[in-house]
Amino acid sequence: MTLETKVGAFVLGGLSLLATAIFLLGDVTFEKRYTLYGQFSDVANLSKDAPVKLSGVEVGQVRSIELVDGGARVIMSIRRGVDIYNDAVFSIGSTGIIGSKYLQVDQGTRVKGVIPANSTVRGEDPTSIEKSLTKALAKVEKLLDSMTKEGPRGTLADNLTETVANVREMTANLNDLIETTKPKLERAMGRTDDITEKLDALLAKSNNMMASLETSKGAVGALLHDEKVKEDVKETIASVKEAAGTAKDVFGRITQFRVFWNYDWRYEHAVRTSRVDIGLKISPRDGRYYYVGGSNLANINDERRGTKVDYARPNQIDALLGWEKDWWNVGFGVIRSGGGARVSLTPFHKDPLLGRLTVDAQGHDFGRNRTIEGRKFTKPAYDFGAQVRVQKHVSLGGRVEDVAEVPRYQSWIKVMFEDTDIAYLFGMVSFGAAGSKGRSKK
């Protein structure tokens, strides 16, 4: 092989490698595509060659970005066969707080028709992180001012005050019922300690009598030397002890119950709407509780404020059986009308400052297989959040809902306070039920 042939082969091989590298690294494709133009006021650092995603699936690429009439014009290359409907929403997405940007398309409805090739669509302008943080800090400052005597009362504080007042009004009838029976109940409660002491004394004397019956010492022992008489008396005293123990347990039920009202107000930024959860936490004894209430309470006729699709289902039911200790809280049952579980952790509960932080996680609707607003949902709903207690009854925080399907970011305000009147009523109901059970024994 001549030198010229070797040089030619070397050059040909180099050119082949160069062409292959350009093909691979340059993302050259031979698939058929069509062009769409998106008009934005700000593209928030969106770059050329960024992916275009339809409902989370990559369907194209940003070919170029140029300034047109003081705005940003994004030229998109979309795969042929992918239909985007006329009411679809175009926005700038991000893989994280500081992640890479992409062009997100939220699919519209089929009845609106398909956007033709070479059309220009109007995109939603993104909100920068700096602006969002500034607004969030301003809102938190305004909220804290509204909760102090020095600051002016704001709309949120008024709403919370009105909500608490409405909840109190709901228990007015129960309070009236309790007030009518309160004098007699107070006298009964005043004698509870005396009754308990007498029951303890009776139990002690019964133990002494049982011990004396085991021997033949004294007049009683001699009188009950007959085995049949002795067994009859022992059985009678045992029945007295059982009745006294039952009575002591029943009287204790009155003061065991604790009842808390729970009010959660969450603001979902994407759809610009608020959601409300209201429930009742009933604790019959330390470490155990029941929770019943409603979540996503809303008027189904209200119109959506934002342009994003709202996938939350309104007016759902919560019903949980739970256990709690100093730093953890676990509940199982129904969450938003689906089977699920909830966990809350306070890892620094002994620290006076860090002990105000609580993290929450819950999973529900594990068999989900439905279509909501034109989108198919097949994965369970997982929610994560954190809150900081800023006052005895009020906590502030944030949460992310449905992270496995369509993550929705929300600001979160929790209000929880104890209602001793309803707890007293539950105690009386438990007292009556336990008393009836005790009287039914032999």
What is the per-residue pLDDT across 116-140, written as a single tens digit (0 to 9) for each?
999 999 988 776 666 667 777 777 7
- State the Cα–Cα distance between residues 37 and 91, nearest whole angstrom: 13
> How many beta carbons lie within 10 A of that of residue 295, not counting itself?
21
* 3-class state of residue 82 by DSSP: coil
Mean pLDDT for the stretch of residues 40-57: 87
Pick from 230, 234, 225, 226: nearest CA to 207: 234
**Domains held by the chain: number:** 3
Give the side-chain half-sphere CA count within 13 A for 276. 8
Q: How confident is the model at residue 432 (pLDDT cuts 50, 70, 90)?
A: low
Q: Does 282 map to a domain?
A: yes
Structure tokens at 436: 């009836």
Give the least confident one: 39-48, 96-105, 407-416.
96-105
Question: Are 217 and 69 in a shared domain?
Answer: no
Amino acid at residue number 236: T
Query: pLDDT higher for 308 or 159?
Result: 308
Pick from 83, 62, 82, 84: nearest CA to 73: 62
Q: Residue 105 maps to which CATH number? A: 2.40.30
Q: Calculate the CA 223 to chain-centre distance.
A: 70
3-state secondary structure 196-216: HHHHHHHHHHHHHHHHHHCCC
- State the Cα–Cα distance between residues 188 and 196, nearest whole angstrom: 12
Q: What is the pLDDT of residue 220?
A: 55
Pick from 78, 109, 105, 107: nearest CA to 93: 105
Q: What is the pLDDT of residue 439?
A: 43
Q: How confident is the model at residue 430 (pLDDT cuts 50, 70, 90)?
A: low
Q: What is the pLDDT of residue 264?
A: 94
Cβ contacts of 2 within 8 Å, gap of 6 or more: none
Pinpoint the alpha helices (H) of 27-170.
129-146, 155-170
Question: Are 263 and 330 in a shared domain?
Answer: yes
Question: Are 221 and 320 in a shared domain?
Answer: no
- State the Cα–Cα distance between residues 20 and 14, nearest whole angstrom: 10
Q: What is the pLDDT of residue 421?
A: 78
Q: What phi-psi label fits residue 45: left (phi over 0), alpha (psi between -120 and 50 degrees) or beta?
A: left
Q: What is the pLDDT of residue 12?
A: 80
Question: Are 367 and 386 in a shared domain?
Answer: yes
Tens of pLDDT along 324-350? 998 999 999 999 999 999 999 999 988
Tens of pLDDT along 241-284? 776 666 666 566 666 778 999 999 999 888 888 889 999 999 98
Bridge partner residues of 263 (DSSP): 278, 415
Tell me the residue range of the domain where 119 lies: 31-126
Answering whether pTM is above 0.85, one says no
Question: Are 275 and 230 in a shared domain?
Answer: no
Question: Are 275 and 420 in a shared domain?
Answer: yes
Q: Does 324 map to a domain?
A: yes
Pick from 429, 441, 440, 437: nearest CA to 284: 429
Q: Which of 206, 229, 253 is the last residue of a domain?
A: 253
Give the least confident one: 144-148, 150-154, 205-209, 395-399.
150-154
* 3-class state of residue 379 by DSSP: coil
Question: Are 287 and 367 in a shared domain?
Answer: yes
Question: Are 238 and 297 in a shared domain?
Answer: no
Is residue 46 a contact partner of residue 99, using CB atoms and an 8 Å limit? Answer: no
Is residue 280 a contact partner of residue 294, using CB atoms and an 8 Å limit? Answer: no
Question: Are 235 and 378 in a shared domain?
Answer: no
DSSP character at residue 355:
G
Question: What separation in angstroms does the CA of 272 have from each of 156, 266, 409?
Answer: 16, 11, 11
Query: pLDDT higher for 239 or 104?
Result: 104
- Say what percent of the chain tops pLDDT 90: 30
- State the Cα–Cα distance between residues 186 and 413, nearest whole angstrom: 38
Q: Which of 210, 230, 253 is the last residue of a domain?
A: 253
- Say what percent of the chain tops pLDDT 70: 72
Q: What is the pLDDT of residue 395?
A: 93
Q: What is the pLDDT of residue 130?
A: 64
Is residue 278 a contact partner of residue 297, using CB atoms and an 8 Å limit? Answer: yes
Q: Does 441 map to a domain?
A: no
Bridge partner residues of 333 (DSSP): 320, 340
Bridge partner residues of 369 (DSSP): none
Q: Is 92 exposed, middle or buried (0-12, 13-18, 19+ CB in 10 A)?
A: buried
Residue 97 has pLDDT above 70, yes or no: no
Q: How confident is the model at residue 151 (pLDDT cuts 50, 70, 90)?
A: very low
- State the Cα–Cα distance between residues 357 and 98, nearest whole angstrom: 25
Q: What is the pLDDT of residue 300?
A: 65
Give the least confident one: 258-272, 322-336, 403-417, 419-433.
419-433
* 3-class state of residue 222 by DSSP: helix
Tens of pLDDT along 156-178? 556 666 766 776 776 776 677 67
Q: What is the pLDDT of residue 284?
A: 86
Helix (H) or strand (E) run with residue 318 in it = strand 316-324
The average confidence (pLDDT) of the chain is 79
Q: Is 333 exposed, middle or buried (0-12, 13-18, 19+ CB in 10 A)?
A: middle
Q: How confident is the model at residue 438 (pLDDT cuts 50, 70, 90)?
A: very low
Mean pLDDT for the stretch of residues 50-55: 90
DSSP character at residue 85:
B
Residue 45 has pLDDT above 50, yes or no: yes
Is residue 260 a contact partner of residue 419, using CB atoms and an 8 Å limit? Answer: yes
Mind giving me the DSSP string for 257-309? Answer: -EEEEEEEEEEETTTTEEEEEEEEEEEEETTEEEEEEEEEE--TTPPP-SSS-
Question: Are 318 and 215 in a shared domain?
Answer: no
Question: Are 393 and 304 in a shared domain?
Answer: yes
Pick from 132, 135, 141: nearest CA to 390: 141
Q: Which of 198, 223, 253 is the last residue of a domain?
A: 253
Question: Are 409 and 351 in a shared domain?
Answer: yes
Structure tokens at 352: 């006076």
Mean pLDDT for the stretch of residues 209-231: 60
Amino acid at residue number 295: S
Tens of pLDDT along 58-68? 999 999 999 88
* 3-class state of residue 77 by DSSP: strand
Q: What is the pLDDT of residue 442?
A: 39
